[in-house]
Amino acid sequence: MLFRKMWRDLLSNKVQFMSIFLMSLLGIYVFVGLDSECNGMRTSEKAFYEECDLADLFIQGKLFVEDDVKTVKKIPGIVKAEKRYKTDGKAELDVERDLQMYFLDSNEISRLYMVEGTPYVPGMKGVWTDYLFAKARGLEIGDKLKMKVDGTEFEQEIMGTVYSPEHVYFLPDAAAVMPDYGSYGVAFMDASSYPKSDSMVYNQIIADLEGVDNTGGLSDEEKNICKNVGNTVKARLDSSELVSTDKDSDISYQTFRSEIEQHSSMVYIFPMVFLLIAMLGIITTMTRMTSRQRMQIGTLKALGFTKKTIIRHYCSYSLFLSILGGIIGAVAGYYTIGAYILSMLMETYLVPGMGLVFSARSFIAILVSALISVLVSYLACRKELAPAPAETLRPESPKDVSHTAIENSSLWMKLDFATQWNLRDIMRNKVRSLMGVFGVLGCSMLLFGAFGCLDTVKFMTRWMYGELNTASYQIIMEQGTPLAVTEEYAKKYRGQMVENAAVEFEAGGIKKSGSATIYDKGGYLHFQDKNLKEIQLNTAGISMSYKMADILGLKAGDTFRWHVVGDDRWHISRISGIYRNPTMQGITMTREVFRDLEYDFVPDTIYTNRNIKDEFEDDDNVVGAQSVSELMDAFDAMKEMMYAMVYMLIGAAAVLGIVVLYNLGVLSLVEKHREMATLKVLGFTTGKIRRILQDQNIWLTTLGLIGGIPAGMWLIAMLFASMPEAMDYIPKYEAASYLYTVVGTFALSVAVNRFLSRKVKTVDMVDALKGVE
């Protein structure tokens, strides 16, 4: 019977209970949505890397022979090792397509994951391409694929399509920002398939180490193992030019990991906000409910019901709502947010079998939310349960009201009636008022967070392609194009030549991979200091990007060690200046400084303002030309994700604002019913009473907004904090975002209040002033 009572109480107080239900639902909805995709990524990462036995250590910097592999295999801590030749080639298809090529010696480490076709075994002829490349290019098993490597054309039959654990995320070149799988690919062949087999060389050894897990990120201990084994390899092979990097420095591994970390950190933020509001809702609703049902509680006690039964009954309201909300939220979150984010992840990461995984955490979240609801309900209703039934059966004695400090001040008498009334109302209903402020705070936080995210991403694009690089086109040169040839192009198109090289840094025991930008004279590349003020870099020195300096703990004037990947010469340089760059973290210098370090300047990119679209179709020296707008389009995938998040945030803000304000509004109207009737009897017009209510609403909204905007900034900082290390995000807030947030929040709050305060008109003076029976 008490269940029926609960059910009917819920129905007759549906507005208030709806807010508890919706907030529990939203909290779990977002949690499960994010958690299931995050957990899906984690599970598939683990399964994939473990099944394929992802390499832990990559050794390069010289050409290897079989004896080297034998030596490496004998080093303690190395479980397996194999050599291979890794290079960039082309596939001759509709157009020439970039194809990263691997000529394998064996397939023990970073094994290929077969999608279809014949599995690779050492010595077998043919080519295995990545699945998406084959799919996008319409390649079938058995097709002959024409390729070009190291200047030689050759052909191999496609034996199968695969996923590669080292190619979960990969870009065609240094200039690309987002992957566009299918337009370029990766191919694996046996070493014997190399077209000039007599001149075949191996430029990489990969190794599987003991004590290093395949998944879950490298712990400090694992990093140490990699470092120590790497040093032993260098010593045993007696080659100081060797570079050994652990998988943490591998862009594929690192990007996917940081994506997982980023999503993990987001899992808790939103649900916490919603659950906090749900808890506040439970406090206000249950306190009012039990206080209103005081007589019923007394009756139940007098009839012989135990306290436990009564507590259980009142806790069942929020338990029922939070569990129901939780279950609906979990299912909806899984199939909407989870599925949507997963579909976008699948465009970015090549992991077989990536799907949503409903984790135990989701069950625990529902349970925790339910338990907290029960606890909050218990705390809210225990007041009515403590006294003896004889006391509970009597109507509650009026609250002991005393004057607050402000009411005793001289200022008080100068305030008009409406202000005094509102101030008293707020102070005597602190929890309700606080909940209103929190609701508005949450709403404006989400709104400001949404607009701020957009501002930040828009700013990044504008910063990169409007301020730091003012060229309208970039020409990508073929690898290995002689400097003299590139210079001719630069001259013809009045461009600025730039070389991008992979570099490894070391300072204070911290080792990091990054890039070096070597530039020729020209006016397209610009630099800004950490406050984004345009600066001229010292042309005689080496400058470091702000984020890289920050990671390495360096400042201008400090020294650091570095070397170009593939070259064993380590240099000790002094930072001559610090500049800021959103996507490229590393160092920059002029070609003259680079030349003084005895490097050949081999530019790979020319920046120009000439309109050069479609000029290089049959040009062997040029890979292609891209306009700035095309480069900006590459950001679209990121923007699409961002927009999805922005809409989600705005939607959540609206739901939060409406639900909380509507709920409190109804509560406040019910409680003020008699006061409003009295005011009407005294001659106050409906309009005047509505204005008084609106005044209070505006005060609380203003308070919420004051807290909401900094909270929104915190939210943005949290969201961007977990972006990949190579990204240097600067949170940006345009004036319009402040305006939209303030206007949006006020509009919502005023609209809800106006909608509700229509009820003032229907307050019946006679009815409301009758005695309470």
Partner 1 sequence: MKPFIEFRGVEKKYMLGENAFYALKGVNLGIMEGEMVVILGPSGAGKSTLLNLLGGMDSPTSGQILINGHDISGFSDDELTAYRAWNVGVVFQFYNLIPTLTAHENVALMKDVRKNVKKGSIWEKELSDTQILDPKEALMSVGLSEHMNQFPSQMSGGEQQRTSIARALAKNPRLLLCDEPTGALDTGTGKEVLKLLQKQSKETGHTVVMVTHNSFFADIADRVIRVKNGTVEEVVENDSPKDASEVNW
Minimum distance, C-beta of residue 396 to partner 1, in the bound complex (Å): 15
With respect to partner 1, which residue has the nearer C-beta, 307 or 691?
307
Closest by CA position to 442, among listed 193, 748, 707, 766: 707
What is the per-residue binding string for partner 1 in 272-311, x denoting contact by CB under 8 A? -----------------------xx-xx-xxxxxxxxx--
Place of tokens 């959540």: 652
Minimum distance, C-beta of residue 391 to partner 1, in the bound complex (Å): 7
What is the rounded distance in angstroms from the CA atom of residue 287 to the CA atom of residue 383? 9
Minimum distance, C-beta of residue 317 to partner 1, in the bound complex (Å): 12
What is the per-residue binding string for partner 1 in 527-546, x denoting contact by CB under 8 A? --------------------
- The CB density around residue 572, as the number of other CB atoms within 10 Å, is 10
Closest by CA position to 456, among listed 133, 744, 733, 221: 733
**Which range touches partner 1 (CB under 8 A), out of 117-125, 385-393, 625-633, 740-748?**
385-393
With respect to partner 1, which residue has the nearer C-beta, 170 or 314?
314
What is the per-residue binding string for partner 1 in 311-330, x denoting contact by CB under 8 A? -x------------------
Closest by CA position to 26, among listed 333, 363, 348: 333
The pair of three-digit structure tokens given for residue 65, joined into one six-digit string = 């022979």
With respect to partner 1, which residue has the nearer C-beta, 395 or 480?
395
Minimum distance, C-beta of residue 671 to partner 1, in the bound complex (Å): 19
Binder of partner 1 out of 272, 388, 721, 739 (CB under 8 A): 388
Binder of partner 1 out of 1, 401, 405, 411 (CB under 8 A): 1
Q: What angle do CA 285, 760, 420 make, to 5 degrees?
A: 75
What is the rounded distance in angstroms from the CA atom of residue 168 to the CA atom of residue 172? 13
Q: Is 80 in the site for partner 1 (CB under 8 A)?
A: no
Place of tokens 């994951």: 113
The strand ranges marked E within 183-237 are 185-190, 202-209
Closest by CA position to 40, among listed 361, 366, 275: 361
With respect to partner 1, which residue has the nearer C-beta, 48 or 317?
317
CA dist list (Å): 56 to 87, 119, 245, 248:
20, 23, 9, 9
Q: What angle do CA 136, 139, 144 make, to 5 degrees?
A: 150
**Which range touches partner 1 (CB under 8 A), out of 185-193, 228-236, 272-280, 386-394?**
386-394
What is the per-residue binding string for partner 1 in 242-261, x denoting contact by CB under 8 A? --------------------
With respect to partner 1, which residue has the nearer C-beta, 312 or 424?
312
What is the per-residue binding string for partner 1 in 393-422, x denoting contact by CB under 8 A? x-----------------------------
CA dist list (Å): 454 to 443, 581, 708, 737:
17, 19, 17, 9
Asked if 129 and 145 touch (Cβ cutoff 8 Å), the reply is yes
With respect to partner 1, which residue has the nearer C-beta, 142 or 395?
395
The pair of three-digit structure tokens given for residue 407, joined into one six-digit string = 């009411």
Minimum distance, C-beta of residue 316 to partner 1, in the bound complex (Å): 13
Minimum distance, C-beta of residue 386 to partner 1, in the bound complex (Å): 10
With respect to partner 1, which residue has the nearer C-beta, 9 or 520?
9
Total residues interacting with partner 1, rule: CB under 8 A: 27
With respect to partner 1, which residue has the nearer C-beta, 65 or 302?
302
At a CB cut-off of 8 Å and minimum separation 6, what does 450 contact? 645, 646, 647, 649, 650, 653
Minimum distance, C-beta of residue 385 to partner 1, in the bound complex (Å): 10
The pair of three-digit structure tokens given for residue 752, joined into one six-digit string = 């809800």
Minimum distance, C-beta of residue 25 to partner 1, in the bound complex (Å): 24
Minimum distance, C-beta of residue 9 to partner 1, in the bound complex (Å): 6
Amino acid code (one letter) for 27: G
Phi, psi of 604 (to 5 degrees): -110, -10
What is the rounded distance in angstroms from the CA atom of residue 143 to the CA atom of residue 128? 11
What is the rounded distance in angstroms from the CA atom of residue 363 to the CA atom of residue 36? 11
Q: For the segment 3-42, give every residue that binds partner 1 (CB under 8 A).
A: 4-5, 8-9, 12
Minimum distance, C-beta of residue 439 to partner 1, in the bound complex (Å): 28
With respect to partner 1, which residue has the nearer C-beta, 1 or 360?
1
Amino acid code (one letter) for 140: E
With respect to partner 1, which residue has the nearer C-beta, 306 or 539?
306
With respect to partner 1, which residue has the nearer C-beta, 62 or 301?
301
Binder of partner 1 out of 211, 352, 355, 389 (CB under 8 A): 389
With respect to partner 1, which residue has the nearer C-beta, 298 or 514?
298
Q: Is 773 in the site for partner 1 (CB under 8 A)?
A: yes
- Structural Rg of the chain based on CA atoms: 33
Q: Is 391 in the site for partner 1 (CB under 8 A)?
A: yes
Q: Is 767 in the site for partner 1 (CB under 8 A)?
A: no
What is the DSSP secondary-structure string of 93-161? SSSEEEEEEEEES--SSS--EEEEEPPP-TT--SEEEEHHHHHHTT--TT-EEEEEETTEEEEEEEEEE
Binder of partner 1 out of 367, 390, 510, 736 (CB under 8 A): 390
**Which range touches partner 1 (CB under 8 A), out of 15-23, 387-395, 586-594, 692-700?**
387-395
Closest by CA position to 693, among listed 716, 710, 675, 711: 675
Minimum distance, C-beta of residue 292 to partner 1, in the bound complex (Å): 11
Torsional class of 149: left (φ above 0), alpha (ψ -120 to 50), beta (otherwise): beta
The 10 Å CB-count burial string (b at 16+, else e) for 242-278 is bbbbbbbbbbbbbbbbbbbebbbebbbbbbebbbbbb
Q: Is 2 in the site for partner 1 (CB under 8 A)?
A: yes
With respect to partner 1, which residue has the nearer C-beta, 4 or 399?
4
With respect to partner 1, which residue has the nearer C-beta, 10 or 145?
10
Residues that bind partner 1 (CB under 8 A): 1-2, 4-5, 8-9, 12, 295-296, 298-299, 301-309, 312, 388-391, 393, 773
